């Protein structure tokens, strides 16, 4: 592989969210760097792809191999420090940033960016620290570093300035006194907003800066508009995640506040698409009332960005689907798997109006129906008390062994109110699949809250019985619904592995998860009706 082809390979893997391929490429490229006499030009491009994809472990691996050529590559040092920060290694990252900021031989732009990195390190230390005096010092140091960098060139380093604004506002909310000469939040925010609006070219970071300035000034409608403008710049996953983290951690927005209610789902929706970002949902985000209010007021009618993004309506529909997902567990709350509500007649006319579908290897193979508790953990603040039901009847079961459909259909002794059962797709997406996706919602690892499995969620292939996808799952995901890109049910997740045989006579194996197609389950019910 030539030096010029490496970035192309990395971009291709990142573009399809192929995490295993990125990990393999990073290992091969790091080994390659030890075989060449000089640092190749491709290093910067490779590091940028890994940073934009938020693959920090791989970024550290490549940057470390690059630095083995010598410590005089400022961009490599900066990327390495960035990876360390996002991996939680703040003290080591701070040392790298500080050394780079003090390195007179490094280009000025790298030294200024390194000072911003120092501010980020102190900011993250402030956010995780609980000891009052150290916490105040971390916040003060972060603010001082950001402000000093901004004041050196206010027309260019506005992102340093807006971080200073955010920390000033946070200090005021937390009752932390900064230096007596600190500027006024509103004055500094106005100056930054004027600078951004007069810029000849609008970019991802100018829109981020403008949005935060509008928040500081209390102009919430403008902040939402600026957030939408940010989405329309086609940001990378790194940029969306950084903005979302800033709003949640520093500005302390959540979906219970009007501004957070509008901004956070918008950014979460973008992150799910551009980065395949996984999202864990709190109960308050899943309640039906806010969803109904949004639809009634028309607040969900905008498409946010270009065709690779999804609408806020799509994201909210995903939240509604979470309410129909339950954790299958024992009486003492030991998680066994996942299940979900379906309208029984959609599967077979002899089934009752509502049923829960799960895997046969969950119930009855792992847990007897009489001992199973079905708990809907996304309903309210006390889901364990309000959403717990028992199995009244097992209507249908297919074993997991061999080529069985690994499916069980259960009737409960009660059902949660105001929960819409999972709608079924009319069929699987037509081939070729291109970048079709498979969305999984469940309780991986026995998690208390339902989680989207949306990372690396490419739909790979399907046949008459099963479908394969790269959506990540783990123990506890068994029995999860697998949905198409319109949140319609296409499969029942049941298995996965790194050496799954490819379908349709393709030969060989690949890393994939597997679900039973809903069409196969319906055919099975038609062949052997429920009893």
Residue 308 scores a pLDDT above 50? no
Torsions phi, psi for 497 (to 5 deg) = 175, 170
Residue 9 scores a pLDDT above 60? yes
* Domain chopping of the chain, boundaries: 324-531
360 Cα distance to chain centroid: 30
pLDDT tens-place string over residues 184-195: 999 999 999 999
- Distances, alpha carbon 265 to alpha carbons 2, 221, 224, 262, 321, in Å: 42, 15, 11, 6, 15
CATH fold of the domain at 324-531: Thrombin, subunit H (2.40.10)
pLDDT tens-place string over residues 354-404: 999 999 999 999 999 999 999 998 775 444 445 899 999 999 999 998 788
| Predicted pLDDT of residue 315 | 77
Instruction: Measure the CA–CA gap between 253 and 221, rounded to whole angstroms.
Output: 15
- Percent helix / strand / coil, the chain, rounded to 5: 50, 15, 35
pLDDT tens-place string over residues 201-216: 778 889 999 999 999 9
118 Cα distance to chain centroid: 26
As a whole number, mean pLDDT of residues 151-177 equals: 91
**Strand, helix or coil at 262?**
helix
Residue 302 scores a pLDDT above 50? no
Give residue 161's pLDDT band: very low, low, confident or very high (50, 70, 90).
Answer: very high
Instruction: Measure the CA–CA gap between 476 and 446, rounded to whole angstroms.
Output: 5
Instruction: Measure the CA–CA gap between 69 and 37, rounded to whole angstroms.
Output: 8
pLDDT tens-place string over residues 258-290: 888 888 878 877 776 665 444 444 444 444 444
| Predicted pLDDT of residue 454 | 59
| Predicted pLDDT of residue 306 | 34
Give residue 456's pLDDT band: very low, low, confident or very high (50, 70, 90).
Answer: low
For the chain, give the percent of residues with pLDDT over 90: 48
């Amino acid at each position: 592989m030539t030096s010029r082809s490496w970035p192309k390979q990395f971009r291709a893997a990142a573009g399809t969210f192929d995490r295993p391929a990125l990990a393999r490429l990073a290992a091969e490229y790091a080994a390659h760097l030890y075989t060449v006499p000089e640092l190749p030009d491709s290093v910067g491009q490779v590091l940028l792809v890994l940073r934009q994809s938020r693959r920090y472990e791989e970024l550290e691996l490549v940057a470390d191999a690059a630095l083995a050529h010598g410590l005089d590559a400022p961009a490599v040092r900066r990327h390495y420090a960035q990876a360390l920060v996002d991996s939680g290694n703040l003290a080591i990252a701070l040392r790298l940033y500080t050394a780079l900021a003090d390195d007179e031989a490094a280009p000025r732009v790298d030294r200024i960016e390194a000072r911003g990195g120092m501010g980020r390190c102190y900011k993250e230390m402030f956010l995780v620290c609980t000891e009052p005096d150290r916490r105040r010092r971390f916040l003060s140091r972060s603010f001082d570093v950001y402000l000093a960098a901004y004041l050196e060139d206010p027309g260019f380093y506005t992102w340093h300035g807006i971080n200073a604004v955010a920390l000033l506002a946070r200090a005021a909310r937390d009752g932390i006194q900064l230096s007596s000469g600190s500027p006024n939040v509103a004055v500094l925010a106005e100056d930054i907003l004027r600078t951004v609006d007069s810029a000849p070219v609008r970019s991802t970071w100018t829109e981020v800066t403008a949005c935060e300035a509008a928040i500081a000034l209390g102009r919430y409608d403008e902040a939402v508009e600026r957030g939408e403008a940010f989405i329309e710049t086609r940001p990378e996953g790194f940029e969306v995640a950084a903005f979302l983290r800033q709003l949640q951690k520093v500005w302390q927005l959540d979906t219970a506040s009007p501004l957070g209610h509008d901004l956070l789902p918008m950014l979460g929706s973008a992150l799910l698409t551009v980065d395949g970002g996984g999202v864990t949902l709190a109960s308050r985000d899943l309640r039906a009332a806010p969803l109904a209010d949004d639809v009634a007021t028309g607040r969900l009618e905008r498409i946010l960005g270009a065709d690779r993004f999804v609408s806020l309506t799509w994201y909210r529909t995903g939240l509604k689907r979470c309410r129909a997902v339950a954790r299958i567990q024992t009486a003492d709350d030991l998680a066994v798997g996942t299940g979900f509500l379906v309208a029984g007649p959609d599967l077979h006319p002899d089934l009752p109006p509502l049923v829960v579908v799960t895997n046969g290897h969950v119930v009855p193979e792992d847990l007897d129906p009489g001992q199973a508790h079905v708990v809907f953990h996304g309903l309210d603040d006390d889901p364990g008390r309000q959403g717990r039901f028992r199995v009244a009847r097992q209507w249908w079961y297919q074993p997991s062994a061999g080529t069985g459909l690994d499916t069980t259909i259960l009737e409960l002794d009660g059902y949660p109110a105001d929960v819409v059962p999972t709608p079924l797709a009319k069929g699987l997406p037509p081939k070729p699949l291109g970048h079709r996706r498979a969305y999984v919602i469940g309780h991986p690892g026995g998690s208390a809250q339902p989680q989207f499995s949306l990372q690396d969620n490419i739909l790979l292939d399907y046949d008459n019985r099963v479908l394969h996808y790269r959506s990540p799952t783990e123990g506890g995901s068994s029995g999860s619904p697998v949905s198409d890109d319109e949140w319609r049910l296409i499969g029942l997740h049941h298995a996965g592995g790194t050496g799954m045989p490819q379908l349709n006579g393709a030969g060989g194996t690949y890393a994939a998860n597997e679900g039973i197609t809903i069409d196969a389950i319906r055919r099975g019910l038609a062949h052997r009706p429920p009893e």
